[in-house]
Amino acid sequence: MAHRGATIWSWFGRMLLVVLALVPIYWIVNVSFSGPQALYKVPLDYYPNPPVLENYREVFDVNQFPGNVGNSFIVATLTTLLTLALGAPAAYALARLRVRGRNLILAVFLGLAIFPAIGMMGPLYVAMARLGLINTIPALVLPYTLFTLPLAIWILTHFFSTLPASLEDAALVDGCTPPQAFLRIILPLSAPGLFTSAILIFIWAWNEFLFALIMTTTPESRTVPVALALFAGLHELPWATIAAATVITVVPVVVLVVFFQRQIVEGLTSGVER
């Protein structure tokens, strides 16, 4: 009997988890579909009463928001591609080849991961300004890649080291050169690992705020998180519109989480067992 009691309690616990995770998100969705004055009703309605779409119309009509969404997509995609193009070969070398100064290289990436991003903003801003890149896509993609590279190398090094050691030898016996072995045998086999890192990098870049705030000064060049944060400055806290913009921002992330949950978990937990 004690066992059944425990089962009920843990079922209750799981429901509580779901409620705690989702209620704040539900609330934003609710506000986004309610009229602008709904929040000032006493007592509050806990569901859209009546549901309206005007907040979404407002987001798309009045603001640069669609353009901002586009910027975010481009920045996140390019960051992902550049990080993988740089990180995958490096991780392969670190995982499977004899590398001189291996520990030093690992230390460099670790140091980069630990250095406070806030301190790099000033110098990177100056660098991007000198290159005339402020308000352009590269002004975000280049710094972002700097921050996602350690993460990608961490995940991919782990992934490459889990592949069987004999793979390259077999390829070499079959007449491949070492670069061919990497390109034709290892890379295709590591598609799952690459994909996992890609999702995490994309989410990171999609969500980044600090650099996006500093590196962009015009409404057209902003990414979604910055546009969202600056909504508040435009009008007098238009919560309903902010809520609609928030929901739009969150949709891609939610889609990624729902469809690629397993890959994300793999990425987050890779290398922990070692």
Partner 1 sequence: MIRGQERRLALWLLLPSLVFVTVLGAFPILSQFVLSFTDLNLRFPADRGFVGGANYARLVTDAVFWQDLGNTLLFTVVSVGLELLLGLGAALLINRAIRGRTALTSTLMMPWALPTVVAATMWSLILNDRIGLVNSLLSRLGLISERVLWLGPKLAMTSVILADVWKTTPFVAIILLAGLKSIPRHYYEAAELDGANRWETFRAITLPLLKPFIAVALLFRAMDAFRIFDLVWVLTGGASGTETLSVYIYKVLFRYSEMGYGSTLTIALFVIVFLMSLGLIRSMRVQAE
Please give the residues from 35 up to 64 whose contact with partner 1 meets the rule CB under 8 A.
Answer: 39-40, 43-44
Q: Please identify which residue in 8, 13, 66, 129 interacts with partner 1, judged by CB under 8 A.
A: 13
Nearer to partner 1, 203 or 221 (CB): 203
Q: Please identify which residue in 114, 165, 173, 191 interacts with partner 1, judged by CB under 8 A.
A: 114
What minimum distance in Å lies between the beta carbon of 124 and partner 1?
A: 5
What minimum distance in Å lies between the beta carbon of 67 and partner 1?
A: 18
CB contact burial 146-184 (16+ within 10 A = b; e otherwise):
bbbbbbbbbbbbbbbeebeeeebeebeeeebeeeebbee
117 scored as a contact of partner 1 (CB under 8 A) = yes
What minimum distance in Å lies between the beta carbon of 173 and partner 1?
A: 11
203 scored as a contact of partner 1 (CB under 8 A) = yes
Q: Please identify which residue in 64, 135, 136, 207 interacts with partner 1, judged by CB under 8 A.
A: 207
CA separation for the pair 207, 198 (Å, rounded): 14
The verdict on whether omega for the bond into residue 50 sits within 30 degrees of 0, i.e. cis, is yes
Q: Please identify which residue in 81, 127, 137, 187 interacts with partner 1, judged by CB under 8 A.
A: 127
The gap from C-alpha 71 to its chain's centroid, in whole angstroms, comes to: 14
Kind and range of the H or E run holding 271: none
Please give the residues from 132 up to 191 whose contact with partner 1 meets the rule CB under 8 A.
Answer: 142-143, 145-146, 149, 153, 168, 172, 178-179, 182
Binding residue count for partner 1, defined by CB under 8 A: 88
Q: Please identify which residue in 225, 238, 241, 244 interacts with partner 1, judged by CB under 8 A.
A: 225
85 scored as a contact of partner 1 (CB under 8 A) = yes
| H helices present in the chain, as ranges | 2-32, 54-62, 65-96, 102-114, 117-130, 138-162, 166-173, 178-180, 187-189, 191-207, 210-215, 224-234, 239-259, 261-269
**Span of 73-81, 101-109, 156-164, 189-197 interacting with partner 1 by CB under 8 A:** 101-109
**Other beta carbons within 10 Å of 127:** 14
Nearer to partner 1, 28 or 189 (CB): 28
**CA distances in angstroms from 243 to 27, 64, 81, 182, listed in the order given:** 9, 16, 31, 47
What minimum distance in Å lies between the beta carbon of 33 and partner 1?
A: 15
Give 142's contacts (C-beta < 8 A, 6+ positions apart). Answer: 128, 133
**Span of 48-56, 63-71, 157-165, 200-208 interacting with partner 1 by CB under 8 A:** 200-208
